[in-house]
Amino acid sequence: MEPNVDGTGRLQAVGKDCNPAYHTLISAFAEKTGTPVVLNTSFNENEPIVESPEQALDCFVRTAMDAVVVENTLVQRQPVEAAAAGAPRNEAADLEGDAGSQT
């Protein structure tokens, strides 16, 4: 993780009452990994910060990101091995309902 230019970081707590969806996501991540912390950073690649779903997907396609979540949709890159083997593409998963499940 690269800190801010001045070497600092900023902790932000997310309460269940102030942001239930984000709290649910962090809780599901904690259950799966044992780490109740996620890193939230500026979303851009040598350009202004991403401000729309279209810009998010454009940045995802141009960079080496593993995944991007746009609203309730998870978009993931298909592993090279699976693509070479001709595995069916399943890059989007609906995140509504159980935050830890993928359909």
The pLDDT tens digits of the residues spanning 65-97 come to: 889 888 889 999 887 676 667 665 554 444 444
Residue from 70, 90, 92 nearest 79 by CA:
90
The confidence band for 14, taking pLDDT boundaries of 50, 70 and 90, is confident
pLDDT at residue 3 in the model: 58
Token code pair at residue 30: 């904690």
Token code pair at residue 37: 């912390």
How much is the pTM? 0.51
